[in-house]
Structure 1
Amino acid sequence: MGITATSLLSPQQGSRVWAQDSNCPEPAIVLKSDAVVPVTKANFADAETQTALVKYVAKVAAETCSTGMGVIWNDGKTADPKDRTVIRINFDTLYSWLILDLSTPATFTLPETDGRYQSAMVLNGQGYVYVEKEPGDYTLTQDEVGSRIALVAFRTGVNIQDPDDVAQAQALQAKLSVKQAKTGEFVQPNQWDLQQMLALRAAYNQERNDKGVKSESLFGRPGEITPEQNNMGVAVGIGGLPKEGAVYLFYTPTSTDPQTLTLRDVPNGDNAFWSLTVYDKDGFPSGDNFNLNSAFAKTNPDGDVVINLGGNSDQENYLEIYPGWNATLRIYNPTPAYFDGSWVRPELQIK
């Protein structure tokens, strides 16, 4: 979820930018104008999404020695906690990235997984999303997606503490594929006023916190959510999965006293999982103990997972907290128990 904003690294108007290794093609990024356009609620999602995707084109290009378009980059490691490209990223899956110019249709393939979690999230140029979770071929067109440019973010489940499981997840990543007659280019129409964009992002995050808006109303296709809901979702974390793929429970405490969160019978799908990640006020992890996943969380004799936030670091299921901390509980492939209210959201308890 979520991309931070930095400048476009002094691109040249009307030219391709982000030159890399001289033996590799240049990233297929074209900036039409270096004019800086004000960011308002009307174009906020465009600004956030374009700022994010242009960075992914450059990253994919560098990692694959390609133009960055129409090629899958399998990142065989979980997210780097020191990387400040993405806010509220998860540390539970291996990501694979694909950016497409849909002036030519493209077809990607999800392989059989033998029960391992894998999904493909399709994000359009305005930040709207949908998710595919079943093995098979999926053809994307500009009309269907709603924009010329699309990002496909593949998530593959992994127990990062088990080297054998990591190897199996990487092998499944390698089975992802894409076909496209012409890979095209990423056309950025202009620069954006990044300070205005960041200010709106902060305002939307504060509004979500004040109103307690649930994640299931923030991510989806046009028509499933409103432009304002989409704006808030993009601000909270661009690339969040829609409710059929995941739900995100946000915790924004004001206290740094040691506390617990007790989880029982979390309603994730059979081939999915849950996780809790602690972030700082800007949406980034801090310290060494910031993530707990159901793949390796310790269960007590009653069947509960008691997460210890703050206090003694020797505690079981310990996560570090500090001033400004907040946490996100992710539930992947949520079951009806989440939506019908039979599973009740657990709350933090100060010790």
Structure 2
Amino acid sequence: MRELVAVDTSPSSAPKHGQPVIRMNHDTLYSILIVDLSTSAVVTFPDVGHRFLSLEMLSETHDSFPSVYKPGKYLLTWTKNGCSCTPPCRTTTKTGAACTAFGTRYAFLLLRTLADAANATDIAAAHDAQDAFAVRQKSPGKWEVPEWNQTELSRIRTNLQDLQAMSTTPATYGFFTGPEKIDHLYGLLNVAAGWGGVPPKDQTYVFWSSGGEPGDFAITVPEVPVEANGFWSITVYNKEGFMFADPSNYNSAAQGSQGKNRDGSTTVYFGSCDDPKRQKPSKAHCLPIQQGWGMVMRFFRPAEAILDGTWVPPKPSSKKHG
């Protein structure tokens, strides 16, 4: 994108080809905007009832602010003007408005809207929620950034991913805790592993890799402790961290009343999705896999039991081919 003048509201979730960053997902619909804060901006966050709707805010240096869930108006600035705090920071103005000072010219906004892909009525309602989100400013500004060397970028990212794989980074991590608490070393490693991550109270991530082990897998997830309208999901990736193309269009599974077992748990299968036994309760709960695949389990608005480690997420178990 160059001239940025309006919110880019996508009616579809992440594409399987041309994914701009690694470890994207199909969990929600996305509205994405880069804001030039040469002039301040005001975000209008709509009231959408109980539907999960979150607004993520990132600076150019990936300072990750707590996500926004409540309807209202939010002021965004480059410097401390209007916020009365030293950026990067967030505070409340004298009028009671929330103000975020990014400390960088550009701010990245990502609106996540939950929708039931199998329900046309719900999709339409989700699109209405997206359309109600607005950003206003006197001038939209310009997109003026260096022409970064993509070859060098890929090489650096690969090296960081290798370092992260050999580090002591916890499986359930939340190093997107900035801006005031960010651990810059782990922050750099995890940005390379999953750009766009948010603080642990907003999303917590569990990475798992098959390590090249052959065979089919399954995982049964008990009821997950989440706050308010939070939810969980599982997404599979190739060894480079990208969703792979598959005719079935299934790269991820999420919680849902149609996919629960009698005890409230949810079973997700990996591989051999032509087997009718692995298509229950629905085909959407069997995810095709490739050699070297891995998965990320995401918890949106996790409860304290997840954050403090009291609730331990399960791991896939394998069924090796004879």
Find out whether 1:178 has 2:135 as its counterpart.
yes
Alignment partner for residue 239 of structure 2, among 281, 292, 306? 281
Alignment partner for residue 256 of structure 2, among 295, 300, 315? 295
Q: How does 1:289-328 map to 2 (within 5 A)?
A: 289-295=250-256, 298-313=259-274, 314=276, 315=278, 316=280, 317-328=285-296
Answer yes or no: is the 8 Å Cα contact 1:268–1:331 preserved in 2: yes
Offset from partner CA, 1:104-126 (integer Å, 9 cap, x none): 11010111121101111111111
Q: Which has the higher helix share?
A: 1
Alignment partner for residue 14 of structure 2, among 68, 71, 79? 79
Cα 1:93/1:212, change in 2 over 3 Å: farther
Q: CA separation in 2, counterparts of 1:169 and 1:212?
A: 39
Answer yes or no: is the 8 Å Cα contact 2:114–2:126 preserved in 1: yes
Q: CA separation in 1, counterparts of 2:210 and 2:62?
A: 28
In structure 2, runs of 5+ residues without a counterpart are: 80-100
Find out whether 1:242 has 2:199 as its counterpart.
yes
SS in 2 for 1:203: helix
Q: CA separation in 2, counterparts of 1:297 and 1:81?
A: 25
Q: Which residue of 2 aligns with 1:134?
A: 70
SS in 1 for 2:182: coil
Alignment partner for residue 100 of structure 1, among 26, 35, 39? 35
Alignment partner for residue 123 of structure 1, among 50, 58, 77? 58
Answer yes or no: is the 8 Å Cα contact 2:200–2:307 preserved in 1: no
Alignment partner for residue 230 of structure 2, among 257, 260, 272? 272
Q: Which residue of 2 aligns with 1:5?
A: none
TM-score (norm. length: structure 1): 0.77
Q: CA separation in 2, counterparts of 1:119 and 1:283?
A: 24
Q: CA separation in 2, counterparts of 1:296 and 1:92?
A: 16
Q: CA separation in 2, counterparts of 1:224 and 1:240?
A: 15
Q: Which has the higher strand share?
A: 2
Deviates more, 1:74-83 or 1:92-101: 74-83
TM-score (norm. length: structure 2): 0.83
Q: CA separation in 2, counterparts of 1:263 and 1:97?
A: 31
Cα 1:212/1:347, change in 2 over 3 Å: farther
Q: Which residue of 1 aligns with 2:150?
A: 194
Answer yes or no: is the 8 Å Cα contact 1:260–1:306 preserved in 2: yes
Q: CA separation in 1, counterparts of 2:164 and 2:258?
A: 29
Q: CA separation in 1, counterparts of 2:221 and 2:174?
A: 23
Find out whether 1:204 has 2:160 as its counterpart.
yes
1:302 Cα deviation (Å)? 2.5
SS in 1 for 2:190: helix
SS in 2 for 1:186: coil
Answer yes or no: is the 8 Å Cα contact 1:111–1:172 preserved in 2: yes
Answer yes or no: is the 8 Å Cα contact 1:264–1:305 preserved in 2: yes
Cα 1:217/1:270, change in 2 over 3 Å: closer
Q: CA separation in 1, counterparts of 2:28 and 2:273?
A: 28
Offset from partner CA, 1:259-307 (integer Å, 9 cap, x none): 1111012122231211111011122222233210113662222322111
Q: CA separation in 1, counterparts of 2:260 and 2:166?
A: 33
- Structure 1's consecutive aligned runs of 4 or more residues displaced over 6 angstroms after TM superposition are none
Answer yes or no: is the 8 Å Cα contact 1:256–1:310 preserved in 2: no
In structure 1, runs of 5+ residues without a counterpart are: 1-56, 59-66
1:192 Cα deviation (Å)? 2.6
Q: Which residue of 1 aligns with 2:24?
A: 89
1:205 Cα deviation (Å)? 1.9
Kindly tell me the number of residue pairs found equivalent between the two proteins.
285
1:150 Cα deviation (Å)? 0.7
1:309 Cα deviation (Å)? 1.1
Letter in 1 for 2:13: T
Answer yes or no: is the 8 Å Cα contact 2:4–2:143 preserved in 1: no
Cα 1:297/1:220, change in 2 over 3 Å: farther
Answer yes or no: is the 8 Å Cα contact 1:276–1:292 preserved in 2: yes
Find out whether 1:253 has 2:210 as its counterpart.
yes
Offset from partner CA, 1:78-124 (integer Å, 9 cap, x none): 22222322321120111111211111110101111211011111111
